[in-house]
């Protein structure tokens, strides 16, 4: 069992479950921020101004509230619980996460990043909104398939490497089948869940290495959790700020493009202030941040 660290993103605090120092990725999943719970107004939401990404996909999944996504492709998309926003950065895209102009109340969810493989990480950016996803109601739990397949049904969400991402609403003990070739992680958003070798609450993550064919989960109260999995990512990634790359030079080039507005990142039609990149850590004699 590992503990998330608290970070500040835009206007709200998050519990960052991935990356962990001892395990940077779970499959191609390389980042997981549990957002909120926070209280937002029609005009003040996540308030994450325009910022760039390369080499990854962002997945936004809310358990409460509404948020507005804008990006340099011209997308303007409100997201609500049960829906998935999936942005593929490829070689570069910028976006913002904003108040909707109408929703006020509780906001909670998770933002996940997926490292793109060599084959697509330099490719064109794209955005998908999935208004509905496959959902199963079983006696012990409800399962929503965010990415990949469960119970013979596949999510329509794009993935460039084998992946699974499930939202689990647990009411009673459940045996969740796993792909033995995958490594897996469980992130608890609400409640308390006993899992093999771990007892988890919000802010905690458990990771299992490949070789398991099922996960026995015992909720101690009605609980909500995210299960992530995939085969160990075969490429060594270099991750810094909002960039997933392979080398420091690639990261420095992306930071320069953002700073100099050289056209690599199309502008976002947002009233929020742009977020500038911090100084590159190795220019201060440090190692890159994990
Ligand atoms: Mn982002």
Query: What is the pLDDT at residue 10?
Result: 80
C-alpha 269 – ligand 1 centre gap (Å): 15
289 belongs to a structural domain: no
141 belongs to a structural domain: yes
179 belongs to a structural domain: yes
Domain that holds residue 209: 2-230
Domains contained in the chain, number: 1
105 belongs to a structural domain: yes
Tokens 């619980």 belong to which residue? 81
Rounded mean pLDDT of 37-60? 95
C-alpha 34 – ligand 1 centre gap (Å): 14
Query: What is the pLDDT at residue 290?
Result: 53
Give pLDDT tens digits for 225-245: 999 999 999 999 999 999 999
Q: Are 165 and 227 in contact (CB under 8 A)?
A: yes
C-alpha 3 – ligand 1 centre gap (Å): 22
pLDDT at residue 62 above 80? yes
C-alpha 2 – ligand 1 centre gap (Å): 24
Rounded mean pLDDT of 69-98? 98
More confident residue, 14 or 56: 56
Query: What is the pLDDT at residue 218?
Result: 98
Rounded mean pLDDT of 13-37? 91
85 belongs to a structural domain: yes
Q: Are 115 and 56 in contact (CB under 8 A)?
A: yes
- In percent, the amount of the chain with pLDDT more than 90 equals 87
Rounded mean pLDDT of 93-120? 97
241 belongs to a structural domain: no
180 belongs to a structural domain: yes
Q: Are 52 and 92 in contact (CB under 8 A)?
A: yes
221 belongs to a structural domain: yes
CATH number at residue 76: 2.60.120.10
Q: Which DSSP letter does residue 284 get?
A: G
pLDDT at residue 284 above 70? no
């Amino acid at each position: 069992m590992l503990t998330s660290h608290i970070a500040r993103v835009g206007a709200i605090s998050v519990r960052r479950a991935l990356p962990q120092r001892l395990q940077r990725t779970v499959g191609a999943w390389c980042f997981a921020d549990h957002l909120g719970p926070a209280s937002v107004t029609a005009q003040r939401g996540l308030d994450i101004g325009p910022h760039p990404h390369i080499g990854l996909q962002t997945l936004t999944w809310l358990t409460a509230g509404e948020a507005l996504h804008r990006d340099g492709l011209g997308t303007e998309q409100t997201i609500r619980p049960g829906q998935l926003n999936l942005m593929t950065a490829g070689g570069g895209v910028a976006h913002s996460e904003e108040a909707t102009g109408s929703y006020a109340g509780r906001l909670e969810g998770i933002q996940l990043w997926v490292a793109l493989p060599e084959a697509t990480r330099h490719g064109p950016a794209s955005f998908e909104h999935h208004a509905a996803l496959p959902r199963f109601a079983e006696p012990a739990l409800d399962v929503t398939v965010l990415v990949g397949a469960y119970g013979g049904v596949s999510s329509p969400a794009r993935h460039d490497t084998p992946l699974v991402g499930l939202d689990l609403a647990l009411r009673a003990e459940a045996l969740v089948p796993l792909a033995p070739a995958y490594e897996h992680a469980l992130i608890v958003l609400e409640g308390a869940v006993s899992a093999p070798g771990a007892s988890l609450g919000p802010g905690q993550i458990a990771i299992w290495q490949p070789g398991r064919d099922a996960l026995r989960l015992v909720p101690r109260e009605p609980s909500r959790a995210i299960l992530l999995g995939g085969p160990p990512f075969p490429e060594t990634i270099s991750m810094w700020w909002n960039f997933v790359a392979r080398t420091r030079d690639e990261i420095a080039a992306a930071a320069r493009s953002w700073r100099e507005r050289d056209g690599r990142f199309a502008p976002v039609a947002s009233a929020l202030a742009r977020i500038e990149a911090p100084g590159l850590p190795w220019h201060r004699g440090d190692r890159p941040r994990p």
